[in-house]
Amino acid sequence: MLAVLVPLPVVLPLIGAGITLMLSGRRRGQTAVTVITLAIVLAIDLVLLFGVDARGTQVVAVGGWELPFGIALAVDRLSAVMLVVSAIVTLLVLLYAVGQEMADTANETPVSVFNPTYLILCAGVAAAFIAGDLFNLYVGFEMLLGASYVLLTLGATAQRIRAGVTYIVISLVSSLIFLMGIGLVYAATGTVNIAQLSVRIGELPPDIQMILHITLLIAFGIKAAVFPLAFWLPDSYPTAPAPVTAVFAGLLTKVGIYAIIRTETVLFAESNLRTPLLVVAALTMLVGILGAVAQSEIKRLLSFTLISHIGYMIFGVAMGTVEGLTAAIFYTVHHIIVQTALFLAIGLVEQRNGTTSIRKLGGLAVLAPGLSLLFFIPALNLAGIPPFSGFIGKAALFQAGFETRDWLIFVLIGAGALTSLLTLYVIGKTWNLAFWRDPDDTEEPTPELVEEFEERKEAVADGRSWRSTQTMPRTMIGSATVMVAVSVLVTVFAGNLWDISARAAENLRSPSTYVSSVLGEEDGS
């Protein structure tokens, strides 16, 4: 019965996209359809999560074709968790985008395209998460990438086109490599069904396994922005509209991480690339955060921290133990939510002051205390300050690392701790410069900010109460606040999240459960 729900997270947004396209020009109607669709998807995902957790992996054979010949859609605990998180993020970011849209009516973005494209992006993300065969995973990736190309170049200004070119060409190359990997896998095994592959790849000679493994990892590594393949990210993400950057930064790289987790556990359980992956993880963490140290544009700076923290997830996956995987899944969930919250908060700063450069911003902590709090909480969370989930995730990773008693992993723990400290440095620098500093002391002072700051100073000196005349759209503030609240809730319910991540990781570590539930040889558990 539960299996009926499996295709819906893909089907509903696609139907919604069709309807919103027909409603083009009627902004209210479009918005209503999009919000309702995403809310329903969130409800379905929640049902799926609890159902899958209680009753085991749910599988649908598309069109009733018998598996393994038909196309399989499978939701196990990992997919269910990712589906729920992505639904939360997409819904909140959409509300934020609606708020921004209403705020700047004379916007350069063609409104009628945004909603359908956004829904297709959601459908693509969901399709990648529920794909039960490698080719469907590719199709899911193409859906979300195709939509992301349009979203990134919305309005087609010179700057966005420039950034879009980097992003699109790199994504196209990674898709080609993925497709090539699928071709090679099919040539070697004669199937693209993930469950069947899990068995057949194990029977291949080790060198062929290695080639297939590396091809797929490179393809997913580009999408996940892992160190030597990550340079496209800080060039392209920051130029997009704030909500688009938020959803990209939160979700898209994590779809790559999800694919890497699947590759490392279900597909290539035998083949061992752990050492190179660990090295790559360490380099991703360090190079990413050092890049962030050098930046002065907050959006770019956050893009670099995004790369750097991808390293933690790769670290967890590469450890190969159940604890490592659990920590990686937990960290992925935490990072999706925190990174999105941060970008939404910075989007508010940009909306308020028209810039996100720490060379121009100043005094925000007194001028906009609420907004500063919205930035401050997820920022501390990202840096891993106790008691937030960032701290829990990192501590869990390091603990899992200590249990392996391997010197390379000890080195990685050191790199991870250093990265965490450097993140704190970067966050501290941003806070000091953009939020605490007198706007007059900045390198390139913004006249509006300076004036506002002076007004406030006078008001305080006279003993009057002072309120900023700058008004922010309520929907934007509201959705950003809810996003920050969700990030705090992740900390509050960290125990439950940890438990379900642990069960998901156990499932993944014993691929036979996945195989048997998809192919139905025994009763899935």
User: Rounded to the nearest whole angstrom, what is the least distance from the CB of residue 158 to another protein in the complex?
Assistant: 5
User: Rounded to the nearest whole angstrom, what is the least distance from the CB of residue 160 to another protein in the complex?
Assistant: 10
Please state, in angstroms and rounded to a whole number, the distance separating the CA atoms of residues 336 and 12.
23
Residues counted in the chain: 525
Of 141, 139, 147, which Cα lies nearest the Cα of 119?
147
Tokens 């190079």 belong to residue: 287
Task: Write the binding mask 291 to 320 for another protein: x where contact by CB under 8 A, - elsewhere.
Answer: ---xx-x--x--------------------
- Pick the stretch among 52-60, 122-130, 157-165, 363-371 that binds another protein (CB under 8 A): 157-165
Identify residue 485 by its one-letter amino acid code: A
Number of residues that bind another protein (CB under 8 A): 36
Query: Is the N-terminal amide bond of 276 cis, ω within 30° of 0?
Result: no
Which of 24, 157, 321, 468 touches another protein (CB under 8 A)?
157
By the rule CB under 8 A, 156 interacts with another protein: yes
Which SS3 state, helix, strand or coil, does residue 60 take?
strand
Which SS3 state, helix, strand or coil, does residue 61 take?
strand
User: Rounded to the nearest whole angstrom, what is the least distance from the CB of residue 303 to another protein in the complex?
Assistant: 11
Of 54, 64, 78, which Cα lies nearest the Cα of 511?
78
Please state, in angstroms and rounded to a whole number, the distance separating the CA atoms of residues 475 and 480.
8
Which of 2, 11, 102, 139 touches another protein (CB under 8 A)?
139
User: Rounded to the nearest whole angstrom, what is the least distance from the CB of residue 32 to another protein in the complex?
Assistant: 28
- Pick the stretch among 135-143, 308-316, 375-383, 418-426 that binds another protein (CB under 8 A): 135-143
Tokens 């039960």 belong to residue: 132
Q: Which is nearer to another protein, 76 or 350 (CB)?
A: 350
Please state, in angstroms and rounded to a whole number, the distance separating the CA atoms of residues 29 and 320.
48
User: Rounded to the nearest whole angstrom, what is the least distance from the CB of residue 153 to another protein in the complex?
Assistant: 6
Q: Which is nearer to another protein, 443 or 499 (CB)?
A: 443
Q: What dihedral do alpha carbons 162, 166, 168, 174 form, nearest 10°?
A: 180
Which of 28, 158, 463, 496 touches another protein (CB under 8 A)?
158
User: Rounded to the nearest whole angstrom, what is the least distance from the CB of residue 165 to another protein in the complex?
Assistant: 6
Please state, in angstroms and rounded to a whole number, the distance separating the CA atoms of residues 478 and 470.
16
Please state, in angstroms and rounded to a whole number, the distance separating the CA atoms of residues 35 and 13.
10
Asked whether the beta carbons of 243 and 250 are under 8 A apart, the reply is: no
Q: Which is nearer to another protein, 444 or 523 (CB)?
A: 444
Of 96, 80, 151, which Cα lies nearest the Cα of 120?
151
- Pick the stretch among 153-161, 308-316, 322-330, 458-466 that binds another protein (CB under 8 A): 153-161
By the rule CB under 8 A, 290 interacts with another protein: no
DSSP letters spanning 170-232: HHHHHHHHHHHHHHHHHHHHS--BHHHHHHHHHHS-HHHHHHHHHHHHHHHHHHHT-GGG-TT
Q: Which is nearer to another protein, 151 or 380 (CB)?
A: 151
Which SS3 state, helix, strand or coil, does residue 506 take?
helix
User: Rounded to the nearest whole angstrom, what is the least distance from the CB of residue 238 to another protein in the complex?
Assistant: 8
Please state, in angstroms and rounded to a whole number, the distance separating the CA atoms of residues 439 and 459.
17
User: Rounded to the nearest whole angstrom, what is the least distance from the CB of residue 198 to another protein in the complex?
Assistant: 18
Asked whether the beta carbons of 434 and 358 are under 8 A apart, the reply is: yes
User: Rounded to the nearest whole angstrom, what is the least distance from the CB of residue 428 to another protein in the complex?
Assistant: 20
User: Rounded to the nearest whole angstrom, what is the least distance from the CB of residue 310 to another protein in the complex?
Assistant: 20
By the rule CB under 8 A, 202 interacts with another protein: no
DSSP letters spanning 320-340: -SHHHHHHHHHHHHHHHHHHH
- Pick the stretch among 84-92, 139-147, 202-210, 317-325 that binds another protein (CB under 8 A): 139-147
- Pick the stretch among 290-298, 365-373, 410-418, 419-427 that binds another protein (CB under 8 A): 290-298
Q: Which is nearer to another protein, 168 or 310 (CB)?
A: 168
For the chain, the maximum distance between any two Cα atoms, rounded to a whole number of angstroms, is 81
* CA geometry: angle 444, 445, 446, nearest 5 deg: 120
Which of 46, 135, 417, 478 touches another protein (CB under 8 A)?
135
Q: Which is nearer to another protein, 39 or 187 (CB)?
A: 187
Which of 45, 142, 323, 350 touches another protein (CB under 8 A)?
142
Which of 150, 255, 314, 328 touches another protein (CB under 8 A)?
150
Task: Write the binding mask 160 to 199 for another protein: x where contact by CB under 8 A, - elsewhere.
Answer: -xx-xxx-xx--xx-xx--xx-xxx-xx--x-x-------
Please state, in angstroms and rounded to a whole number, the distance separating the CA atoms of residues 327 and 95.
30
Binding site for another protein (CB under 8 A): 135, 139, 142, 146, 149-150, 153, 156-159, 161-162, 164-166, 168-169, 172-173, 175-176, 179-180, 182-184, 186-187, 190, 192, 235, 294-295, 297, 300
